[in-house]
Amino acid sequence: MLIVDFLRHGALQGGVKYRGTLDEPLTKQGHRQMDEVWAKVNGEVTMIISSPLSRCAHPAGGWAEKNNIPLVVEDRIRELSYGDWEGLTASQIQQKFPHQLEAWREDPTDLTPPQGESMQHFSSRIQSFWHDLLEKYDSEHILIVAHSGSIRLLLTHALHAPIQSTRHFAMPYACWSRVQVVEEKTQLAFHAR
């Protein structure tokens, strides 16, 4: 059985906004939030796969080094590039780009943030990563440390759900989810724990 845990990074300095590829640091609370989840899986996880952005890679690298387990930094699970929305709060996006955020939240396949990455491209790289993971591993316990958008898409691909369903996953900071894969059948063990 392959067990895959997904951990979203914790709270970030500067408050809640659309960061995408902006590499901003965790708060002390954000580190604590992630460390609390790590304490629950430490000793079970056999490898860690992390987004290259420091809000994921820094804690993941520390856990891997301290516990002598492999760390893979994987560019395909970085967050969606939000283009001109990056660094803006939801209200700022709504002011500068009226009606776009609401439409994107309703159905992210129909709208690409200005100068940003399309959902089709984002989905393709996430799906490629997930396919390669399933091809390569079948009896590990893997922790994936990533972002709200990439974890939502990973869950939809793992569960063979439509992309639009990404908007139905709550994804608070340090959200922890688990899927189990047995003989090519994937089951959601828990989400937002």
Is residue 55's pLDDT more than 90? yes
Mean pLDDT of 104-111: 89
pLDDT category of residue 110 using cuts at 50, 70 and 90: confident
Residue 156 near residue 163, CB atoms below 8 Å? yes
- Output helix, strand, coil percentages for the chain, rounded to the nearest 5: 45, 20, 40
192 against 55, higher pLDDT: 55
Q: How many independent structural domains does the chain possess? A: 1
Confidence at residue 180, expressed as pLDDT on a 0 to 100 scale: 97
Is residue 193's pLDDT more than 80? no
Mean pLDDT of 102-124: 94
The closest alpha carbon to 157, from 192, 132, 183, belongs to: 132
With the C-alpha atoms ordered 86, 91, 92, 96, is the resulting torsion angle positive or negative?
Answer: positive
Residue 25 near residue 15, CB atoms below 8 Å? no
Mean pLDDT of 20-43: 97
Helix axes 119-136, 148-158, angle to 10 degrees: 60
Lowest mean pLDDT among 37-51, 61-75, 161-175: 161-175
Is residue 88's pLDDT more than 80? yes
What is the token pair recorded at 161? 């759900």
Confidence at residue 106, expressed as pLDDT on a 0 to 100 scale: 87
Residue 145 near residue 51, CB atoms below 8 Å? yes
Which residues form the domain of 46? Answer: 2-190
User: Which CATH number belongs to the domain containing residue 92 in this structure?
Assistant: 3.40.50.1240
Q: In terms of C-beta density within 10 A (0-12 exposed, 13-18 middle, 19 or more buried), how is residue 28 classed?
A: exposed
Is residue 133's pLDDT more than 90? yes
Matching residue, tokens 């899986």: 41
169-191 tens-digit pLDDT: 999 999 999 999 998 899 999 99
Confidence at residue 167, expressed as pLDDT on a 0 to 100 scale: 83
Q: Of all residues in the chain, what percent carry a pLDDT higher than 70?
A: 100
Phi, psi (deg, nearest 5) at residue 70: -65, 145
pLDDT category of residue 19 using cuts at 50, 70 and 90: very high
Average pLDDT value for the chain: 96
Mean pLDDT of 88-112: 94
